[in-house]
Structure 1
Amino acid sequence: MTEAEVIVIGSGPAGLGAATALARAGRRVLVLEREAQAGGIPRHCGHYPFGMREFHRLLRGPDYAARLRDTALSAGVTIRTCTTATALRPGGVVEITDDAGPATLTAKAVLLATGVREASRAARLIGGEKPGGVLSTGALQGMVYLNHQRPFRQPVILGTELVAFSALLTCRHAGIRPLAMIEPESRITTRSPVRWLAAALRVPILLHSEITAIHGRTRVDGVTLATPAGPRDLPADGVIVSGGFRPDVALLQGSHLQIDPGSGGPVIDRWGRLSDPAYFACGNLLRGVETAGWCWSEGQRTAQAILAALQGQLPKPDGSRLVLAHPALRLAVPQLIGAGASGGPYDSLQVRLDRPAKGQLRLMQDGRILAATRIDSLPERRLSLALPSTFGPGPLTLTIAETP
């Protein structure tokens, strides 16, 4: 390919979903992937369920990733693996490097779909020694499914997000028996029905508990927990540090594009455009973790906005910056909402909390409630608030009227 109309950076479900839709619409699309194989995180997830939304059948993660990749290639998408984007310049200019050395590519539109990273042990401020055997969920899945290794036999799992239960399935596949799942809050983070998986595998969930220290010199040989009953030691030989997802914005840092301090991802408007309208974003780069199917669907919708942009059909970039006016609110996407604007892939605010909150989530303007919904939620759970089709100019405020 000598010239692409659209460059997509990242080949997970969001990036490949968007690339496929764009290619089917007759556009020349180039996908850049730094790994040796396209498909994103699902390549490491050797379990079900993937694919119901996209292909109307249940697939294992690697099979789902291969199906996404093959579908994109069949639609006419060009995928360049082992290619790293190193810089983003104004107007859709992307600097890259690969085995042939550095190069510069230009496109009419660039879609960023670089996904997320899990928070490390250091980011969680867990004390103790620094032995081997402390892994993120992604690292565990890579070792088990790609390298066919069993890094430990009886770890503990920190966190109860959906990905922590994915780690349970990975452990079951490898013959690993976790001693416990550790959750600092009073409830599990993901939806309650998922806890049946832990019960079925006989893994206790310890609520109101935290890991305060990890012991061992070369390998983990135990952990200390803070629990409501006092300190407790467990003879774990590994720690799975799950969740705590944050957008992978290494490429955005140092660029001319605005980053939202709340989400850690790029600032976007209702059409997924960044502060430079040649750039768009979708998927978990925007707000931390969502399911593969959600990201694929978001990629498909963002592709429609890119097609409209290529045809000159989008309104001019504008809009008021959304103000978060409650301490429990961590992020809301999109961050820019134009007065009277309607349509676009982001017709609802996607909201995440910093702490548990119960009450009414409200979108306000000039003291008036434009939209509202009841919430009773923990951090990292999916919250949404439908945006009104019309409203006046001026700043918008998102707040929570809490109830006891």
Structure 2
Amino acid sequence: MIVIGSGPAGLAAATTLASVASVLVLDRENCAGGIPRHCGHYPFGFREFHRLMKGPDYAKKLVDRAVKAGVRVATGVNVVELEPGPRVGVTSNAGRSHIRSKLVLIATGVRESSRAQRLIGGDKPGGILPTGALQGMVYLEGRRPFRRPVILGTELVSFSAIMTCGHAGIRPVAMIEPNPTVTARWPTGIYPWLKGITLHLSTDIKRIEGRSWVERVVLEGPAGETVVETDGVIVSGRFLPEATLLHGSHIERDPATGGPVVDSYGRCTDPAYFAAGNVLRPVETAGWSWAEGRAVGKAMCLALENALPARETPRLNLVGDALAWAIPQHVGTGAEAALDRLQLRVTRPVRGRLSMRVDGVEVASRRISTRPERRITLPLPHRSGSVEIVLEEE
């Protein structure tokens, strides 16, 4: 069995699979553990280990548990091809080769959107970083890339950036959010105030100025253009699945999530391939990804015994232009499903009624008042048929 990615989802699935098969985890990084390795702060591990841990300790604990279960972990190995069979093409210091397996799990995680993807204009100086790069510099290299940055975004990862800055003696001067409200749930919105960081809502970065290094940013907001003197920009959030492997492969990719199309068991369109964790969507917590990896790992154990039902069809249909995406894209009846709840996101702040219909009959509903990047779930239906999710806005 091959698992691609050694973050919480990949390691949880690998540990589960090790009870019934030989498992090899492949990761392009030189150290296993995924994104939590870079997060030298709390809270991690309560769901998994029933205690609060810092990211690096949590990552090490996951790796140790997997290795103790018999999982082999190979780092510095880059997977470059997904082929029917299943067979994966890899490159490493030993050269290029192919590995065959009974089943393959894709658990390659996410990455933050770049400055270019956010269409931020201006100069191209140094000092512009995503949160992940900042955390790597601070926690893994002991570096302080700037002293007075601004933070773009108010997702959970944006507040993680504030914690990382505090660890390195960096004092952010502003937090900038294009939407009229903070994206992360209350009470995170008071955290910038507690830290003396000015929060700009309904505001975006129009351009970045500086020669060799960031010197200032020009903001565009309710009061028009304003200038903030700064020496760095942290571009946080707006995650995208790290699904480059799917380009040119035979596995279908969902244009809405950016990740693979899966059914309720985590199976891709080639049933020899499964997927779990944040490669499925942008973005969930480490604990959520771990639980999802473990559940998909159990489904893969059943697949080895030919005990999974046939792949579910037809594809889920979304009705309402505020609905961004949903997973799984092929929905079964929920019996022993790995992805046991339908997960959805919206494109803008909305308030209204969300309902699930099977063959035109409503089987579940809930009222929602939510914002982009916030988790929305519905139970899987208990009957088979054509599933439709309808959002009626108020």
TM-score by length of 1: 0.96
1:14 aligned to 2:9?
A: yes
1:110 aligned to 2:111?
A: no
What is residue 154 of structure 2 aligned with on the other side? 160
Post-superposition CA distance 1:86-116 (Å, at most 9, x none) = 1000121111111111111111110000000
Shift of 1:152: 0.7
Post-superposition CA distance 1:272-318 (Å, at most 9, x none) = 00000000000000011111111001011111100010011001113
Q: Distance in 1 between matches of 2:334 and 2:48?
A: 29
TM-score by length of 2: 0.98
Identity %: 54
What is residue 396 of structure 1 aligned with on the other side? 387
What is residue 192 of structure 1 aligned with on the other side? 186
What is residue 352 of structure 2 aligned with on the other side? 359
What is residue 27 of structure 2 aligned with on the other side? 33
What is residue 171 of structure 2 aligned with on the other side? 177
Equivalent of residue 379 in structure 1, options 372, 380, 386: 372
Shift of 1:341: 5.6
Q: Which runs of 5+ in 1 are unaligned?
A: 1-5
Shift of 1:200: 2.0
Equivalent of residue 342 in structure 2, options 328, 342, 349: 349
Post-superposition CA distance 1:364-393 (Å, at most 9, x none) = 2343212211111110101101112113x3
Q: Distance in 2 between matches of 1:43 and 1:278?
A: 30
Equivalent of residue 53 in structure 1, options 33, 38, 47: 47
Q: Distance in 1 between matches of 2:359 and 2:74?
A: 49
What is residue 264 of structure 2 aligned with on the other side? 270
Q: Distance in 1 between matches of 2:61 and 2:360?
A: 49
Q: Distance in 1 between matches of 2:154 and 2:334?
A: 38
Q: Distance in 2 between matches of 1:285 and 1:133?
A: 28
Q: RMSD over aligned Cα, in angstroms? A: 1.1
192-201 or 142-151: bigger deviation? 192-201
What is residue 285 of structure 1 aligned with on the other side? 279
Do 2:262 and 2:329's aligned partners in 1 also have CA atoms closer than 8 Å? yes
In structure 1, what residue type is equivalent to 2:109? G
SS in 2 for 1:166: helix
Q: Distance in 2 between matches of 1:345 and 1:361?
A: 23
Post-superposition CA distance 1:139-180 (Å, at most 9, x none) = 100111111111111111000000000000000001111111
Shift of 1:342: 2.5
Q: Distance in 1 between matches of 2:339 and 2:291?
A: 11
Equivalent of residue 361 in structure 2, options 359, 364, 368: 368
In structure 2, what residue type is equivalent to 1:380? E
Structure 1 ranges of 4+ moved more than 4 A: none
Do 1:342 and 1:390's aligned partners in 2 also have CA atoms closer than 8 Å? no
1:142 aligned to 2:133?
A: no
Post-superposition CA distance 1:36-73 (Å, at most 9, x none) = 10000011111111111111111111111111111110
Q: Distance in 1 between matches of 2:163 and 2:113?
A: 20
Q: Distance in 2 between matches of 1:181 and 1:368?
A: 45
Count of aligned pairs between the two proteins? 394
202-211 or 73-82: bigger deviation? 202-211
Q: Distance in 1 between matches of 2:21 and 2:63?
A: 17
